[in-house]
Amino acid sequence: MRKPVTACMLTVSTMLAAVAVSGPAIAADIAVRPGPNAAEELAEALIGAQKGDTIWLGFGRYELTDGLSLYVDDVSVRGMGPDSSILSFKEQQGSGEGLLVTSNRVILDGFAVEDARGDGIKSKGSDQITFTNLRVEWTNGPDEKNGAYGVYPVSSKNVLIDNVTVRGASDAGIYVGQSDGIVVRNSLAEYNVAGIEIENSFHADVYKNVARHNTGGILVFDLPNLPQQGGRDIRVFDNEVTENDTANFAPKGNTVAMVPKGMGIMVMANRNVHVFGNRLDKNDTAHVLIAAYPEDYKDDNYMFVPRGVYVHDNTYGEGGGAPDGEVGETISKYSGIPVPDIVWDGVTRIPEWLSWTAPENRIYISEEAGTTFVNLKMLSQLILPWSTTPDTDISAYKGSLPEPAPVELPQDKTS
């Protein structure tokens, strides 16, 4: 499989040779082309790759019946572009994802994964995993039979997702779970249930992405009973979160099945989340929702309420005009329609409800005049239903929190 570079790839490989001198091993270029044996050749290339190698995917479609996996450190898989080198899993018969990576310092660049039966591209336990210039798509559009996650790094460290397009995921297009050190930027997520989701993760920068025509645009969640929880230090900024208008098509058992159509940015649980500089428009349930984890759980280590959320300097177009689903109904019952731009469920822990919340744990909002807001005071509604009215005085939430430092990734030093 370790073939000499073929003619058409010479230019790229020469460029690569200049960069790939990190170790004593001689980096090889392994070229795979579409054809009747491509599936086997590609699987063999991924299995037989050695540190420093690059596997090149030639132009065309690869019809695959089984999931692919890469377990070797320091390997790149590069295609000719997200519309040129296409791994199609339409006929997939086995495995939980299209491509699985479990090794470190891996670069995935310039190809597409279509119609995976489970997840699209997953990395588990990787350090320095890079997803660039990729497309992961379910080509039949939104459908609950589509795979759950498009780009899916989990339990990973130093995750870079740049210039990726994901369409049609029945859970989240770009989903980063239980990871630490995350950059998601310049990417497009559309026609998924959740566009971009950061879950149970530490240190994430999510910026300059477009999340549109999903059920919900960008979600920052923390869930109980998982090996890593207590998500924190997350910045969501300079994103376009617009027209999230696709009906929720997640299977009912999934956490995202509760996300109402027309959710812009949602922060559930987590600590120290900063939402700023985003443009929100035409999200018909609410542009921004800050909420506690609403389900029962058994986990003494879990913090179910958001701690320290700072929302500032975003721009808000029209929205909140057609709140959807159970969540939309609960919100609008108290807030009326249109739902204000920013909604906080107002759930606190009982001791805090009885006394006060420490400054670093509060919700702060600093937006241009005219931005609307509501604190639903859900806990008070529950305890004192007759004397509770929602609080719409945005000025009462003025203040700020120190912003987390930008996330720096070792594989991303040039920026």
Partner 1 sequence: MRLAGMAGIGAFVAAFLVAATQAAGADYPAILAEKPPRLLSAYGFFEGIKAGSGISKPAQGVVEYDLATPLFSDFAVKIRHVHVPEGKPAKYTVSEALDFPVGAALVKTFAFPADFRHPQENVRLIETRVLLHQADGWKAMAYVWNEEQSDAELKIAGKRLDLSFVDTKGEEVSFSYAVPNRNQCKGCHAISGEIAPIGPKARNLNRDFDHGADQAGNMGAGPRNQLQWWAANGLLAGLPDEGVEKAVDWLDEKAPLDARARAWLDVNCAHCHRAEGPASNSGLFLTWGENSEVARGVLKRPVAAGRGAGDNQFDIVPGRPEQSILITRVASTEPGVMMPELGRALTDERAVEMLRQWILTLR
Where on the chain is the footprint of partner 1 (CB under 8 A)? Answer: 40-41, 43-44, 46-48, 65-67, 69-71, 92-96, 100, 102, 116-119, 124-125, 144-149, 152, 154-155, 170-171, 175, 177-178, 199, 223, 225-227, 251-255, 295, 297-299
Whether the Cβ atoms of residue 265 and residue 244 lie closer than 8 Å to each other? no
**Single-letter amino acid code for the residue at 399:** G
Closer by beta carbon to partner 1, 54 or else 92: 92
* Least distance CB 51 / partner 1 (angstroms): 14
Contacts 24+ apart (CB under 8 A), 39-47: 39/63, 39/64, 39/65, 39/66, 41/1, 42/68, 43/68, 44/1, 45/1, 46/70, 46/72, 46/75, 46/77, 47/71
- Whether the link from the prior residue into 338 is cis, omega within 30° of 0, is yes
Q: Measured from the CB atom, is 229 or 335 closer to partner 1?
A: 229
Query: Which CB, 125 or 338, lies closer to partner 1?
Result: 125
Residue 175 beta carbon to partner 1: minimum distance, rounded to whole angstroms: 8
In the complex, the smallest distance separating the C-beta of residue 171 from partner 1, rounded to whole angstroms, is 6
Nearest residue (CB) to partner 1, 181 versus 346: 181
Q: Is 202 in contact with 241 (CB distance < 8 Å)? A: no
Min dist CB 2 to partner 1, Å, is 13
Residue with tokens 């798509």: 137
Indicate the residue among 296 and 393 with the shorter CB distance to partner 1.
296
Distance from chain centroid for Cα 410: 20
C-alpha span between 280 and 319 (Å, rounded):
8
Side-chain half-sphere CA neighbours of 60 within 13 A: 12
* CB nearer to partner 1: pick between 42 and 342: 42
Q: Which of 185, 168, 210 is nearest to 176 (CA)?
A: 185
Nearer to partner 1, 16 or 257 (CB): 257
Name the token pair of 129: 């995993």
Taking residue 338's Cβ as centre, other Cβ atoms within 10 Å add up to 17
Structure tokens at 119: 């997840």
Contact 157, 181 (CB under 8 A): yes
- Contact criterion met (CB below 8 Å) for 323 and 336: no
Nearest to 266 by CA among 331, 336, 335: 331
In the complex, what is the shortest distance from the CB of residue 40 to partner 1, in angstroms, rounded to a whole number?
5
Judged by beta carbon, residue 12 or residue 43, the one nearer partner 1 is 43
Q: How far is the CB of 144 from partner 1 (least distance, A)?
A: 6
In whole angstroms, the minimum distance from the beta carbon of 162 to partner 1 comes to 23
Work out how close the CB of 240 gets to partner 1 at its nearest, in angstroms, rounded to a whole number: 27
